């Protein structure tokens, strides 16, 4: 019998939650084309424009010439090729770690790492806003899960205390959080989290997906910027955002990496990432660490500062560290209206709604890249001011 999804799809449509794919043309200038129109692209994680960088593309072409396209087998069989090792050496050095391991995606990394670290009898404590792949990894592990409100140290501490009381002597406590949060663009109070972790004898998994390549000297991430590398047991990230390629990675001690090679199922039972992607990611890391990379980060920092200065008060972000701006509108309808108004002005800023964010916090999520011009930013600021004025008018009407 054919499964019937029509009712489910109709329900999504009625609630304004039906999502569909759009095919875009991206010529690497901060703008995209789709449906016959051109938009400033405020919805890309290609923060430094490396996805179309000539040196990155050239490294991929050279790797194709030498290694072809597919890896041919999983890493543990015959799928480990020189570009895999080269990239892992570079990543370990980049993140001041003993060793590293590459996965096909960041998502696969989380799904592999977390169940290798904890299982039934262990406890995972995580931030409410942790990325879906972290949540899925935790669920898959079978550990007991405790969630604390976003960046709430008091609640984290009480969960840690509870965990200490309820854990068997051989059990583990793992804290899972992000450094720069993907939806709110703010950063975790890392120093305090580490203090708590140490005093309760827990482990920490830090996801630097939105900080790697961007934050701190050389874009090494928040942990390195704060000098905390050695205090964090497991750090992961993605090759698909600021590095502009595809893949996930983890860095840590040699022992941790050996354990993951033996226990991370998404690593063991999946064909190795194509060598050409590892070669491209290694080249992207070289760019990130070069003077050119420094200049790209400086351009992006200037764009970020321009937006931080120009946004009306209601849209000012708190504790922002990366290039993500949550423009919080409140209701789903307000967010959808603001998004369509942006589109009319040639700005593409995707709305983010429940359940990705809590009810009443519907927003547009703008990400900046080094490809944006000052004019792009000024158009965004003008749109934000218009929305702000309208919201101010309606709220005075409401209170009158
Ligand atoms: C994007 C993202 C991932 C997943 O990385 P992919 O390489 O895209 O699979 C993991 N964690 C966070 C916080 C992310 O934002």
Q: Is the pLDDT of residue 190 over 90?
A: yes
Q: Could you tell me the pLDDT band of residue 331, with boundaries at 50, 70 and 90?
A: confident
Q: Could you tell me the pLDDT band of residue 400, with boundaries at 50, 70 and 90?
A: low
Ligand 1: does its nearest atom lie under 6 Å from the Cβ of 240? Answer: yes
| pLDDT tens digits for range 92-123 | 999 999 999 999 999 999 999 999 999 999 99
Q: Which residues contact 360 (CB under 8 A, 6 or more apart)?
A: 330, 331
Percent residues over pLDDT 70 in the chain: 99
- What per-residue confidence (pLDDT) applies to 45? 97
Only one residue has tokens 């990432």, namely 273
Domains and CATH numbers, the chain: 6-51+293-399 (3.90.1150.10), 53-288 (3.40.640.10)
Ligand 1: does its nearest atom lie under 6 Å from the Cβ of 182? Answer: yes
Cα→Cα distances 219→73, 140, 292, 295, Å? 32, 31, 12, 12
Ligand 1: does its nearest atom lie under 6 Å from the Cβ of 107? Answer: yes
Mean pLDDT is lowest, of 133-142, 245-254, 355-364, for 355-364
Average pLDDT over residues 69-81: 98
Rounded Cα distance between 256 and 185, Å, is: 29
- What per-residue confidence (pLDDT) applies to 15? 80
DSSP 36: T
Is the sign of the CA dihedral 333, 335, 336, 338 positive or negative? positive
Q: Could you tell me the pLDDT band of residue 357, with boundaries at 50, 70 and 90?
A: confident
- What per-residue confidence (pLDDT) applies to 397? 67
Ligand 1: does its nearest atom lie under 6 Å from the Cβ of 105? Answer: yes
Per-residue tokens: 231:
């205090």
Per-residue tokens: 161:
């205390």
- What per-residue confidence (pLDDT) applies to 227? 97
Ligand 1 pocket test, candidate residues 45, 51, 103, 106, most atoms within 8 A of CB: 106
Rounded Cα distance between 150 and 295, Å, is: 33
Could you tell me if 250 and 223 are in contact, meaning their C-beta atoms sit under 8 angstroms apart?
Answer: no
Q: Is the pLDDT of residue 262 over 60?
A: yes
- Picking from 318, 327, 302, 319, the residue whose alpha carbon sits closest to that of residue 384 is 327
The total of other beta-carbon atoms located within 10 Å of residue 140's CB is 16
Average pLDDT over residues 286-310: 97
The total of other beta-carbon atoms located within 10 Å of residue 158's CB is 14
- Ligand 1 centroid–CA 246 distance in Å is 10
Ligand 1: does its nearest atom lie under 6 Å from the Cβ of 131? Answer: yes
Q: Which residues contact 15 (CB under 8 A, 6 or more apart)?
A: none
pTM of this structure: 0.96
Is the sign of the CA dihedral 30, 373, 186, 222 positive or negative? positive
Q: Is the pLDDT of residue 399 over 80?
A: no
Closest atom of ligand 1 to CA, residue 240? 7
Q: Identify whether 355 is preceded by a cis peptide bond (ω within 30 of 0).
A: yes
Q: Is the pLDDT of residue 338 over 90?
A: yes
Phi, psi of 140 (to 5 degrees): -65, -30
Question: Which of residues 13 and 43 earns the better pLDDT score?
Answer: 43
Average pLDDT over residues 40-61: 98
Mean pLDDT is lowest, of 73-77, 96-100, 315-319, for 315-319
Average pLDDT over residues 350-355: 86
Closest atom of ligand 1 to CA, residue 238? 7
- What per-residue confidence (pLDDT) applies to 92? 98
Q: Could you tell me the pLDDT band of residue 201, with boundaries at 50, 70 and 90?
A: very high
- What per-residue confidence (pLDDT) applies to 356? 80
DSSP 330: E
On average, the pLDDT of the chain sits at 95
Ligand 1: does its nearest atom lie under 6 Å from the Cβ of 53? Answer: no
- What per-residue confidence (pLDDT) applies to 3? 87
Strand (E) or helix (H) holding 365: strand 362-367
Q: Is the pLDDT of residue 1 over 80?
A: no
Catalytic residues: 45, 131, 178, 182, 207, 210, 241
């Amino acid at each position: 019998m054919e499964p019937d999804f029509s009712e489910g799809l109709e329900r999504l449509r009625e609630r304004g939650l039906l999502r569909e794919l759009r095919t875009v043309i991206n010529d690497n200038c901060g703008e995209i084309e789709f449906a016959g129109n051109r938009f400033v692209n405020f919805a890309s994680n290609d923060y430094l424009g490396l996805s179309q960088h000539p040196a990155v593309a050239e490294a991929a072409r050279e790797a194709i010439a030498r290694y072809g396209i597919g890896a041919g087998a999983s890493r543990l069989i015959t799928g480990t090729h020189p570009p895999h090792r080269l990239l892992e050496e570079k990543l370990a050095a980049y993140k001041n770690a003993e060793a590293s391991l590459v996965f096909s995606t960041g998502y696969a990394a989380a799904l592999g790492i977390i169940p290798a670290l904890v299982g039934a009898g262990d406890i995972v404590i995580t931030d409410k806003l942790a990325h879906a792949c972290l949540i899925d990894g935790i669920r898959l592990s079978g550990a007991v899960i405790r969630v604390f409100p976003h960046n709430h140290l008091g609640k984290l501490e009480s969960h840690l205390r509870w965990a200490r009381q309820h854990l068997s002597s051989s059990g583990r406590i793992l804290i899972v959080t992000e450094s720069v949060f993907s939806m709110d663009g703010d950063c975790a109070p890392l120093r305090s989290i580490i203090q708590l972790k140490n005093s309760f004898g827990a482990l920490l998994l830090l996801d630097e997906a939105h900080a790697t390549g961007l934050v701190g000297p050389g874009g090494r991430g928040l942990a390195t910027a704060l000098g905390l590398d050695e205090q964090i047991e497991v750090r992961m990230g993605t090759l698909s955002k600021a590095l502009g390629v595809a893949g996930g990675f983890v860095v840590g001690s040699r022992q941790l990496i050996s354990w993951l090679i033996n226990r991370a199922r998404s690593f063991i039972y999946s064909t190795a990432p194509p060598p050409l992607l590892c070669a491209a990611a290694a080249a992207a890391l070289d760019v990130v660490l070069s003077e050119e990379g420094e200049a790209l980060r400086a351009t992006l920092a200037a764009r970020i500062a321009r937006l931080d200065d120009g946004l009306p008060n209601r849209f000012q972000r708190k504790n922002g560290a990366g290039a993500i701006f949550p423009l919080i509108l409140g209701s789903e309808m307000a967010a959808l209206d603001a998004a369509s108004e942006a589109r009319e002005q040639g700005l593409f800023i995707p709305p983010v709604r429940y359940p990705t964010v809590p009810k009443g916090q519907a927003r547009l999520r703008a990400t900046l890249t080094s490809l944006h011009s000052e004019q792009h930013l000024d158009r965004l600021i003008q749109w934000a001011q218009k929305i702000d004025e309208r919201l101010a008018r309606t709220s005075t009407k409401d209170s009158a």
